[in-house]
Structure 1
Amino acid sequence: MLTAGIDLAAEDTNTAVAWIRWTGTTAVLEELVIGADDDELLRAASTADKVGIDCPLGWPAPFVEFIVAHHRGEMVTPTDLIGRDWRRSLAWRHTDLVTREVTGRNPLSVAADRIAHTAMRCAGLLARLAAAGQPVDRSGCGTVIEVYPAASLRHWELPNQRYKGRRNNGALNDLMDQLVAATPWLQLGEFESACRHSDHAVDAVVAALTARAAAIGHATRPGPAELASAVTEGWIALPTAPLTDLVTASATD
């Protein structure tokens, strides 16, 4: 099995993609690209069995309806919610609320944070994949899944805060020390140094690990009542098993 992880940013410079090859008892980081352009990302999505993208795959349905109504001059004054509560009802997807309940952390709002710039790029990539004949399912039932590296790290009891940016290189190296210790079966090879100097590289690797969890049934999936919203808004796949299960669980590689 080949999984890929994409730490997506609005621009190529801060975008990274990692490919991990799984053999059942070991995993090898075969390739790592920092500063990945759209062609590299499409290559990952086209060649891997499962691809984890660190970016919202859709927008909240109430937000989309609000924007369309406002654009057309048909906006109806809300009566059930006012002020902050009303704005929050527009800002968060269902999967964001589920993730907050599970992890205690709020994902960035694709409707009200700068991550929307990244989501626009992601939407373009998904459209290109679909145009090339590859089915795209935002609920995670297809090749592409939405991931949240910080939440994955939290579940795996690894450092998951304040490791981003040059000022936090010490924390990044501490994260790498603990990740390496927790995954003796993961061969980083020549790419370990890059991971110790780039949080984008680390998030791409974690995204690829999470993609493996999803591929073997060890990540959350939307239930019947959640599927309709997940198909349009996206669904964050959260690991549900320890790191060791990524290589010990029964799976076809």
Structure 2
Amino acid sequence: MLLTMRTIGVDLAAAAPGTALAEIVWTDDAARLTRLEIGMQDADIVASVSSGDAWLGVDCPLGWPDAFVDFIRAHHVEPSLGSVDGGADWRRTLVYRHTDRVVRDRIGRWPLSVSTDRLGVTALRGAGLTSRLAEAGFPVHRAAEGRLFEVYPGGSLRLWGFDTTGYRVDATRRAILIDSLRERAPWLDLGAFRALAVTKADAFDAVIAALSTRAGALGLFEPPASGMLGVARREGWVVLPDGPLEALIAAR
């Protein structure tokens, strides 16, 4: 069968033990999970795209809110900022990126905040990873303009119509999700990796990240509005699938 695409999904954590990588090889009418590993170092991730034919999706914010960056810069110089009231409405502008607001509108819930949750530690690692990718010649574009995408596995699953309740903490829920996924996508061959995806939530999310990356590669997502493209290039842009799971094959 003719190889048409290779997508890499990474569930990034602050350190290697919680980081998983999945690789899916796509042909015209099938998709095969060819790799699923945990304990990934940055070098492993960079090596996975070194051949130049891969698309990479990373479950990690690629930037921080503009307002947060501006505030930290100003506050670092002068703590007495007359325009700051510290209230909830004002803080929200620093907590969420533009893309986070779009995610909230699409799936009905807020993603974690890169500026105020522990996710920020992972994002610091992500900044180092994107630097290494760029040094290795892999083009890094935060606004989904190339082969790198910021993905959100839980959000993708919800938009594809799956019940994501408790799947991150319950292996039984992950097993049910995988069975439902296979029913909807009989063209997806998980091979011997099903057990790992059930056992480890990080591995499961890496698989969904690789599927989400396929949506990005096919252009099956809503890009930033033209007026917000500059913001997305700084803050990052979450690629959420625009269309059913079945379109990952049917769109070819």
Q: Scaled by the length of structure 1, what TM-score is found?
A: 0.94
Rounded to whole Å, the distance in 1 between the matches of 2:251 and 2:155 is 21
Rounded to whole Å, the distance in 1 between the matches of 2:29 and 2:49 is 24
1:203-225 alpha-carbon deviations (Å, 9 max, x no partner): 10111111101111111211201
Contact 2:24/2:32 (<8 A) preserved: yes
Quote the residue 1:221 is aligned against: 223
Rounded to whole Å, the distance in 1 between the matches of 2:114 and 2:154 is 16
Quote the residue 2:248 is aligned against: 246
Aligned pair in 2 of structure 1 residues 46, 105: CA closer, same or farther (>3 Å)? farther
What percent identity do the matched residue pairs reach? 45
Rounded to whole Å, the distance in 2 between the matches of 1:37 and 1:238 is 26
Deviates more, 1:215-224 or 1:104-113: 215-224
Contact 1:66/1:75 (<8 A) preserved: no
Matches within 5 A, 1:33-112: 33-47=37-51, 48-73=53-78, 76-78=81-83, 82-112=86-116
Rounded to whole Å, the distance in 2 between the matches of 1:135 and 1:174 is 37
Count of aligned pairs: 247
Give the CA deviation at 1:111: 0.3
Quote the residue 2:197 is aligned against: 195
Contact 1:45/1:144 (<8 A) preserved: no
> Which residue identity does 1:179 align to in structure 2?
L
Matches within 5 A, 1:59-208: 59-73=64-78, 76-78=81-83, 82-165=86-169, 168-208=170-210
Give the CA deviation at 1:75: 5.5
Rounded to whole Å, the distance in 1 between the matches of 2:175 and 2:216 is 27
Matches within 5 A, 1:1-12: 1-12=5-16
SS state at 1:41 partner: helix
> Which residue identity does 1:25 align to in structure 2?
D
Structure 2: any 5+ residue segments left out of the alignment?
none
Q: Scaled by the length of structure 2, what TM-score is found?
A: 0.94
2:212 to 202, 210, 213: 210
SS state at 1:20 partner: strand
SS state at 2:226 partner: coil
Aligned pair in 2 of structure 1 residues 40, 228: CA closer, same or farther (>3 Å)? same
Shift >6 Å, 4+ stretches = none
SS state at 1:226 partner: helix
> Which residue identity does 2:57 align to in structure 1?
G
Contact 2:172/2:198 (<8 A) preserved: no
Give the CA deviation at 1:231: 0.2
Structure 1: any 5+ residue segments left out of the alignment?
none
Rounded to whole Å, the distance in 2 between the matches of 1:2 and 1:88 is 38
> Which residue identity does 1:162 align to in structure 2?
G
Give the CA deviation at 1:74: 6.1
SS state at 1:39 partner: helix
Quote the residue 1:23 is aligned against: 27
Rounded to whole Å, the distance in 2 between the matches of 1:51 and 1:149 is 14
